[in-house]
Structure 1
Amino acid sequence: MILVTGATGFLGSELCKQLLHQGKDVLALKRPTSIIPKSLSSIKGLTWVNSSILSAEEFSDYAYIITEVYHCAAMVSFNPKDDDEMLSFNINSTKILAEFCLKNKIPMLHVSSVATLDGANILGFTDENFFPSKTPDTHPYGNSKYLSEKEIWKYINQGLNAIIVNPSIILGYIKNFEGSGAFFKIIKNGLKFYTPGGAGFVAVEDVAKCMILLMQQKAYNERFIINAENISYKQFFESIANALQVAPPSIKAGKFALGLAWRFSKLVAFLSDTTPTITKHTAKSSFNISKYDNRKIVNLLGIEFISINNYIKTIASKYTNE
């Protein structure tokens, strides 16, 4: 039986679906208040366990039948009020699972992020060999993933068989424009500005597929970037706009204007007790040109990633018919 944390989440639910379609039995962890996705409600081989992860008691009784662990659960928030809770949960949940897997000699795959990578080669590409020399100056979420990954490496040094994956921005259809669907919502609503930065993007189906293949390959004690394509934000927004048949952003935003925007967003959020739509970190990162080298995972698995432009069309059609 395979243990999956964060099974009701965007990536976790896709991973469960692929494992179940392969005939695997899955022990899925979720918070008591989490809603089970419809895509998983009628598939055989799935056992749900209510667990906070911060206590291993809810799933430790299953240790004798668990053969693999996929750690997808993480708290994600852009509200500064959640920073301490997010840091605590992401680090401690990873530590508890790593201890559980080491004690019971169970291999583990940990979902990290490209936010934990720091640096680039002379061609401007970042690969798996770039480790930050200190805590990175990133959004608190990125920092929590960096410190969580450090926990995995600590337990690897103690004998844990673990794989770390560092996905770039994961795309996929999520109802009501949630998650990465926010990109489609802001374009549909008539976004006028774009920034000169760029990033890596990958389909959620490809991330889950790579995770399963890496476990099958027993590629332990390694980290792997999972990235389909490196695309400028201008090109990315244009692709979404074309797929939705709306006008693409046409005005290049400067740092000064974006600085005013995140400060105004912070003020509005404070006065209305809501989450800022633009933060200092997201504004700053929107000017970064990040390019990720995926050759390590491609060479090992021989995978051919889904075209991001074609995938955008698929997602857009679902939102159009929503």
Structure 2
Amino acid sequence: MILVTGGTGLVGSHLLFELTKSQQKICALYRSQKTIEKVKHIFSYYTDSVDAQFDRIEWVQSDLNDLPKLAEAFKGVTHVYHCAALISFDPNDYYKLRETNISGTANIVNLSVINGIQKLCYVSSVATMGYDPVKITEETTWNPEDHQSVYAITKYEAEMEVWRGIQEGVPSVIVNPGVILGPGFFRSGSGGLFKRVYKGLRYVTEGVSGYVGVTDVIKGMVSLMNSDRKNERYIMVAENLSFLDFTTLISNAFKLAPPKKIARKWMLSFAWRLDWLKHKLRGKKRLLTKNLSKTLRSKSYYSSNKFLESETEFKFNPISSVVSEVCQIFSKDVSV
């Protein structure tokens, strides 16, 4: 049996759709009934036989720190896809991030050790990679002194838990995707970028980052799990694009005028300070932090050569095609 954590998120829901195409037994964790209905909606993007595939999933209500329920979910499990994570760049969420991303991953690893899991796939992020101005690879050294975001810190430490599990006998692969693009989650994460452009985005930054379609991430994960490759990490980035080029792709797909104004360093410095002041005076959630403003200005070029050399038949979908598909689904969802 396959266990999927984070089954109601962007990666998890698309992974479940892919896995339910086969005859394997599948168990997935969820926290509320409302999020399960979201998975059905994701399935409806790709098939008319939603119920037939969806009903193949055995759902277990649990979070990553509910050990009794987690232990129950692990019964009969041979392979684990650990996709669950909390995403936030707000320093005020640091302890929540630690609880989910580090402690939760430690629990998954411990139960994998106890139950003799045959293989674990952990979905991390390029946020845990080191920085190099020319090319970032799996060998680029992480610098803990480099003003890392709270999200990056907790995902990096979660990776350390997976490496501990490897030392304790759990064969594992770690995937480090860039910004994952996919439909269905347009109020948060990368999906929120599509919504912001659709509503009208005036300013973009000069930064560069790596992007990848969610279906490519899923295909890569499944391929790695079905292979004999283990105890390695792999960057998954289809293309490195400037934020201007990326938002222009979205604007073109929506038939809107692309943003033309560049948010300079001084503007971002003012913006994150204003955001901090609003938080202090009104208790508003932080949307732009000092570290995030730095990330938005940085030019990061990621290399997926290691993954592509191990998966010689694999080809990433062009980001223009991914963006076009996501925008089409977004437009249909908005019209419903």
**Shorter-chain TM-score category?**
over 0.9
Q: CA deviation at 1:128?
A: 1.1
CA–CA separation in structure 1 for the residues paired with 2:30 and 2:203 = 38
Output the CA distance in 1 between the equivalents of 2:269 and 2:126.
25
Distance 2:141 2:23 in 1: 37
Larger deviation, residues 57-66 vs 160-169: 57-66
Of 147, 151, 173 in structure 1, the residue corresponding to residue 183 of structure 2 is: 173
**Does residue 1:305 correspond to 2:319, yes or no?**
no
Unaligned regions of 5+ residues in structure 2, if any? 44-49
RMSD: 1.9
2:148–2:291 Cα contact (<8 Å) kept: yes
Correspondence 1:88 to 2:110: no
Q: Deviations over 1:214-259 (max 9, x none)?
A: 0000321000111111111111111111111112111222111111
TM-score (norm 2): 0.89
Q: Equivalents in 2 of 1:198, 1:17: separation in Å?
A: 31
For residues 258 and 200 of structure 2, the distance between their equivalents in structure 1, rounded to whole angstroms, comes to 8
Alpha-carbon contact 2:177-2:212 (below 8 Å) kept: yes
Partner of 1:258: 268
Q: 1:32 to 1:176 in 2, by over 3 A?
A: closer
- Please tell me whether the aligned partners of residues 76 and 141 of structure 1 are also in contact (alpha carbons under 8 angstroms): yes
Counterpart residue identity of residue 17, structure 2? K
Do the aligned partners of 2:131 and 2:300 also contact (CA within 8 Å) in 1?
Answer: no
Q: CA deviation at 1:97?
A: 0.9
| Structure 1 match to 2:289 | 279
Answer with 188-197 or 138-147: which moved more: 188-197
Name the CA distance, whole Å, in 2 between partners of 1:93 and 1:33.
Answer: 21
Letter in 2 for 1:142: A
Q: In the alignment, does 2:2 pair up with 1:2?
A: yes
Partner residue in 2 for 1:12 = 12
Residue 108 to residue 34, structure 1, CA distance change in 2 (3 Å): farther
Change (3 A) 1:105 1:141: same
Tell me the residue number matched to 1:56.
67
The CA deviation string for residues 145-184 of structure 1, in whole angstroms up to 9 with x for no partner, is: 0011011112212222111111110011125443212112
Aligned equivalent of 1:118, options 130, 151, 171: 130
Match of 2:115 among 98, 101, 104: 104
C-alpha distance in 2 between matches for 1:71 and 1:191: 34
Report the more deviating stretch, 269-278 or 215-224. 269-278
User: Secondary structure in 2 aligned to 1:224?
Assistant: strand
| Letter of the structure 1 residue corresponding to residue 258 of structure 2 | P
Q: Does structure 1 residue 142 correspond to structure 2 residue 152?
A: yes
Residue pair 1:135, 1:146 contacting (<8 A) in 2 also? no
Q: Please give the alpha-carbon distance, in whole angstroms, between the structure 1 residues aligned to 2:128 and 2:14.
A: 23
Which of residues 217, 224, 232 is equivalent to 2:242? 232
Q: Give the Cα separation in 2 of the matches to 1:53 and 1:293.
A: 31
The residue matched to 1:35 in structure 2 has which SS? helix
Comparing 107-116 and 74-83, the one that deviates more: 74-83
Deviations along 1:248-278, whole A, 9 cap, x unmatched? 1112221111111122223334444332332
Take 2:73 and 2:214, find their aligned partners in 1: how far apart are those partners? 28
Q: Which residue of 2 aligns with 1:247?
A: 257
Q: Say whether the 8 Å CA contact 2:10–2:185 is kept in structure 1.
A: no
* Maintained 8 Å contact 2:210/2:300: yes
Equivalenced residue count is 320
Equivalent-residue separation in structure 2 for 1:180 and 1:14 (angstroms)? 15
| 68-77 vs 257-266, which moves further | 257-266
Distance in structure 1 (CA, Å) of the matches to 2:70 and 2:287: 37
Cα distance in 1, alignment partners of residues 192 and 73 from structure 2: 38
Q: Deviations over 1:73-131 (max 9, x none)?
A: 1111233332211112210111111111112221111111111110338xx11111124
1:228 aligned partner, one-letter code: A
Length-normalised TM-score, structure 1: 0.93
**What is the Cα deviation at residue 209 of structure 1?**
1.1
Give me the whole-angstrom Cα distance separating, in 2, the residues matched to 1:85 and 1:62: 23
Gaps of 5+ in 1: none
